[in-house]
């Protein structure tokens, strides 16, 4: 098993001494004590072109995970022959032992899936793994915030059986009948490293942002080719929509000064949100003036933070 296989891709892990990090754009901070664990599995391609595609997607997702976590200690990448049924079961069992309820879990399944009318299977080197087994393994993981992304064909088959309280479940297809190889995985991988996916430009891509980006791109890709879409991505469970899945830049160390500035920024951001919500009926010029006042202040605080962090 290649639990931390990413080391071989990206060299030595980043320094382990960092205790607390701040995102590249201040204002979005995860629970200081929670840890985000990633499990990324590239299944069997069947053909070389698919194998290469799936592995490239998995590695791209792993890069995004590393960028976000700062080190690879909580990143599991199962790829190639290592992505066997046995290894996958073992890794999910291991995660269930090390992860705590306050931690967060992100699982990405990449590859082909099948559905024979009764049972969903995720295609792996050697024996496949069925949907029920995976559901059971995932259920044993105590993290109360989970994101499970199944990018395989026929993945819509698990929409009900894998749904769980606290879990946001994303599938590439809306039903088991959508059996063609999917495009969703490629766009999901892209979303985790895309400025375009980061709608609010805070430097982090949330679950919702990544899903919206990938689903939009899938639809556009079929439309632009004049094809009927053979996949319709689905998302259920709102609990983890706001979870930051990936940072777009490396983490930096948090300081006391930064913490104060970030609080200010948070407050201003809340004010902007409040103003937006109260906009109804407000004269547009008045609204824009009020918005400008808040955004200017916010920009100045942001600049101060960047100065402290030494960002140009």
Partner 1 sequence: MNLRIIFFSFYFFCLQSANTQPIDYSADRDSALKTCDEHFYSGQRQEANDCYLSLLSSSTDALIRAESAWRVGDLQAANAYFRTGVEINPESPRVRTRWARLFLMTHQNSDAIQLFEEALELNAEYLPAKLGLAAVAAGRFEDRAKALVQGVLEADELQLEAHLLNAQMSLEEGALEAADESLNEALMIAEQKGLPPLEVYALKASVDLLNDIVESEWTDLSLNFNPHYGDIYAIPAHFYVITRRYREATELLFKAVSIQPDLWSAHAELGINLLRTNRVNEAQHHLSLAYDGDPYSAQIVNTLRLIDSFENFQVLERELPEIEADVADADKAKRPGMILRLHKDEAPILEEYVASLVAESIDVFSKRYQFELQEPVVAELYPDHDDFAVRTSGLPGIGLLGVAFGYLVAMDSPSGRGEGEFHWGTTLWHEIAHVFTLESTNHLVPRWFSEGVSVFEEWMTGPRPGRHIPLHVLDAMKEDKFLPILDLDSGFIRPTYQGQIMVSYMQAGLICQYIESRWGQAGLIELLRLYRNGAVTAEAIEDGLGVDSNEFDEGFDAFIDSEFQSVLAILDDWKEHTERAHVAANEGNWESVLDSSAASIDMYPDYVEEGDIYILHAKAHEELGQIDAAIATLEQYWRLGGYEPGVLHQLADWLYESDRSGDAIEVLSDVIFVAPLDESLHRKLGDWFLESENGELALREYLAFLATSPHDEASAHYRLARAYKQLEDQEKTREHLLYALETAPHYREAQQLLLEILR
Interface with partner 1 (CB under 8 A) = 25, 27, 195-203, 212-213, 216-217, 223-227, 268-269, 272, 276, 288, 291-292, 295-296, 298-300, 302-303, 306
Is 132 or 271 the residue whose CB approaches partner 1 more closely?
A: 271
**Which CB, 50 or 287, lies closer to partner 1?**
287
For partner 1, the closer CB: 96 or 230: 230
Q: Nearest distance from residue 209's CB to partner 1, in Å?
A: 9
Side-chain half-sphere exposure of 102, counting CA atoms within 13 A: 6
C-beta of 76: minimal distance to partner 1 in Å?
Answer: 30
CB of 95 to partner 1, least distance (A): 32
CB of 4 to partner 1, least distance (A): 32
Looking at beta carbons only, is 168 or 202 nearer to partner 1?
202
Please list the residues that pair with 115 across neighbouring strands. Answer: 120
235 closest CA partner among 143, 153, 172: 172
Residue whose tokens read 């160390």: 253
- Which residue number, 225 or 283, has a Cβ lying nearer to partner 1? 225
Minimum CB–partner distance for residue 70 and partner 1 (Å)? 20
Which is nearer to partner 1, 195 or 257 (by Cβ)? 195
3-state SS, one letter per residue, for the chain = CCCCCHHHHHCCCCCCCCCCEECCCCCCCCCCCCCEEEEEEECCCCCHHHHHHHHHHHHHHHHHHHHHHCCCCCEEEECHHHCCHHHHHHHHHHHHHHCCCCCEEEEEEECCEEECCCCEEECCCCCCEEHHHHHHHHHCCCCCEEEEEECCCCHHHHCCCCCCCCEEEEECCCCCCCCCCCCHHHHHHHHCCCCCCCCCCCCEEEHHHHHHHHHHHHHHHHHHCCCCCCCCCEEECCCCCCCEEEECCCCEECCHHHHHHHHHHHHHHHHHHHHHHCCCCCCHHHHHHHHHHHHHHHHHHHHHHHHHHCCC
Nearest CB to partner 1, comparing residues 236 and 295: 295
Question: Closest separation between CB of residue 134 and partner 1, Å?
Answer: 30
- Shortest Å distance, C-beta 87 to partner 1: 34
Q: Report the residue number, 197 or 258, with the smaller CB distance to partner 1.
A: 197
What does the alpha-carbon distance between residue 122 and residue 101 come to, in Å, rounded to a whole number? 27
**CB nearer to partner 1: pick between 62 and 248:** 248
Strands 36-42 and 104-110: parallel
As measured in angstroms, the least distance from the Cβ of 274 to partner 1 is 12
Burial class of 133 by CB neighbour count within 10 A (0 to 12, 13 to 18, 19+) = middle
Least distance (Å) between residue 230 CB and partner 1: 15
């Amino acid at each position: 098993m290649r639990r931390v296989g990413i080391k071989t891709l990206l060299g030595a892990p980043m320094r382990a001494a960092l205790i607390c990090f701040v995102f590249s754009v201040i204002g979005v901070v995860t629970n200081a004590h929670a840890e985000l664990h990633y499990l990324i599995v590239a299944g069997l391609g069947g053909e070389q072109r698919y194998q290469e595609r799936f592995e490239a997607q998995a590695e791209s997702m792993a890069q995004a995970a590393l960028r976000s976590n700062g080190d690879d200690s909580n990143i599991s990448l199962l790829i190639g022959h290592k992505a066997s049924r046995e290894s996958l079961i073992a890794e999910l069992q291991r995660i269930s032992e090390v992860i705590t309820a306050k931690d967060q879990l992100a699982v990405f399944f990449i590859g082909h899936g099948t559905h024979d009318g009764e049972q969903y299977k995720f295609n792996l080197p050697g024996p496949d793994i069925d949907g029920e087994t995976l559901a059971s393994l995932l259920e044993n993981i105590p993290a109360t915030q989970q994101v499970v992304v199944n990018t395989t064909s026929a993945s819509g088959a698990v929409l009900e059986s894998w749904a769980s309280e606290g879990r946001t479940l994303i599938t590439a297809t809306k039903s088991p009948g959508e059996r063609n190889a999917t495009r969703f995985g490629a766009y999901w991988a892209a979303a985790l490293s895309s400025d375009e996916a980061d709608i609010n430009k805070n430097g982090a891509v949330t679950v919702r942002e990544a899903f919206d980006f990938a689903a939009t791109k899938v639809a556009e890709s079929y439309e632009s080719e004049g094809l009927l879409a053979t996949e319709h991505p689905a998302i259920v469970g709102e609990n983890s929509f706001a979870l930051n899945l990936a940072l777009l830049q490396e983490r930096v160390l948090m300081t006391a000064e930064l913490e104060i500035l970030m609080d200010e920024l948070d407050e201003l951001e809340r004010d902007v949100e409040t103003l937006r919500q109260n906009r109804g009926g407000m004269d547009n010029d008045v609204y824009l003036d009020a918005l400008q006042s808040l955004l200017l202040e916010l920009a100045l605080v942001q600049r101060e933070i960047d100065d402290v962090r030494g960002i140009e």
